[in-house]
A and B are shown apart, each in its own frame.
Chain A
């Protein structure tokens, strides 16, 4: 076990990196797309709708093989890690966008009307009135998206990124100790998802406003 533990931990590190990069990227892209979807500009709305419609319905593995094995055909070559991270970001951004959008919709209509009544425009009312309130409702669903991203990173193993799942598979082939390799990997995944769940739970309690 001591022989391959460092290797497995290296895989764990890649999984963590991919999860964090993918989730952070998805937060940024997803929020931007959500703003597109509620903006007054028709083509921006259409782009937002198409973005979500495509990325929420395409399986992540299809996106991964398309980017990893397809893009070199059109002369685009990037490092494997960043290609995988981009796919995760794109895929999760659709879920973040829908979370943000339904968060925006839970803020009562009166708030938006009040914001407009005191003369705030589209951007200002989103920035100062709607989004701060919407964010509180979004914390738990975003936690679910984060856990989804963590589990989603396992698929990069299928396109050859040396993440936790990929390392587990190759170390099992090499050392033939399935109980410890798979057991450890399972424990790591449970730990990450539990940790993530706890973190978002704490965050939600901190941000909750008693009414």
Chain B
């Protein structure tokens, strides 16, 4: 954070302090009331009974959820390993001088940035089998994620390349390097380092998208949570636990992104637009994907 939000108000005087104290008390009371209402709603419907939460302490069930988390992570990592290099390639193609290279890449990126992943998944689920193509569940989930993820990554890389000083690539050309050599040897290594925090937060998006395994029945965390909830009749508990695990995992990843951003920042050169939050929302040309 570049600036403390405290600039919006003065150091509080006696009256201001008292108002803050009153507001604090009121807020705490309101929060307590809301919490009480929520708990009562759970209690009245018998959802706080020990039996409803018991399953989540038994080792086999925890192991089942862990297997789900493993599936989630596996799908995320494979998606990232495919989507990021593909995105970098698309970005370079889109920035290339020859139009036959530029246009298809641009069309691909713009199209897949505008299509929801679920629609792509339905294409794989419904249309491909009719054409005689049968993919394993894992790939039915991962390929659509990679298709849209690579388009998003392409925009990240493009913004990164464009934000690098032109002198760098000009120096490459003046050494007699070709476009591809300049990109590979001079531009990309620098861009990659600067983009590291954004790519880590992009991992969060990919991880969220793997919950679509729920639709294709790939055993990831949400799907396993559903199976478990329906089997033990503890749907809301199972989904709450699943949500908690997702929040903790992603919070860890975004903490990592903030950490990398800070470390890179102290080394002099700032990542493009890193003055804002490390989530990459404010960076030019970036799109927040919410469809996961």
Contact = CB atoms under 8 A, between A and B. Distances in A.
A165 interface: yes
20 contacts: A38-B8, A47-B31, A53-B251, A59-B211, A62-B239, A65-B222, A69-B235, A70-B236, A98-B281, A101-B277, A106-B276, A125-B9, A141-B282, A141-B288, A148-B291, A151-B116, A158-B215, A165-B119, A186-B115, A189-B116
B12 interface: yes
Contact of A74 (B8, B47, B291): B47
Interface of A: 37-38, 40-44, 47, 53-54, 56-63, 65-66, 69-71, 73-76, 91-92, 95, 98-99, 101-102, 104-106, 109, 112-113, 116, 121-122, 125-126, 130, 141, 144-145, 147-149, 151-155, 157-158, 165, 168-169, 172-173, 176, 178, 182, 185-186, 189-190, 193-194
A65 B214 CA distance: 10
Nearest to B2: A105
A15 B45 CA distance: 33
B222 A154 contact: no
Q: Is the interface of B mostly helix, strand, loop or mixed?
A: helix
Given A42-B24, A182-B123, A65 B291 contact: no
Contact of B116 (A37, A154, A172): A154
Interface of B: 1-3, 5, 7-10, 12, 16, 20, 23-24, 27-28, 31, 41-42, 44-45, 47, 111, 113-119, 122-123, 126-127, 130, 204, 207-209, 211-212, 214-215, 222, 226, 235-236, 239-240, 242-243, 246-247, 249-251, 254, 276-277, 279, 281-282, 286-292
Q: Which 7 A-B pairs have the closest CB atoms?
A: A148-B290, A154-B116, A57-B250, A70-B236, A151-B291, A59-B208, A38-B5
B116 A57 contact: no
B243 A73 contact: no
Contacts of B113: 193
A172 B125 CA distance: 11
A136 to B, nearest CB: 14
Given A60-B290, A116-B9, A165-B118, 12 more contacts: A57-B246, A58-B243, A60-B291, A61-B211, A62-B211, A66-B243, A73-B236, A74-B41, A186-B119, A189-B116, A189-B119, A190-B114
Q: Is the interface of A mostly helix, strand, loop or mixed?
A: helix
Nearest to A76: B41
A44 B47 CA distance: 29
B118 A99 contact: no
Contact of A66 (B123, B208, B239): B239
A40 B27 CA distance: 12
Contacts of A157: 118
Contacts of B236: 66, 70-71, 73-74
A165 to B, nearest CB: 5
B240 A148 contact: no
Contacts of A130: 8
A69 B113 CA distance: 30
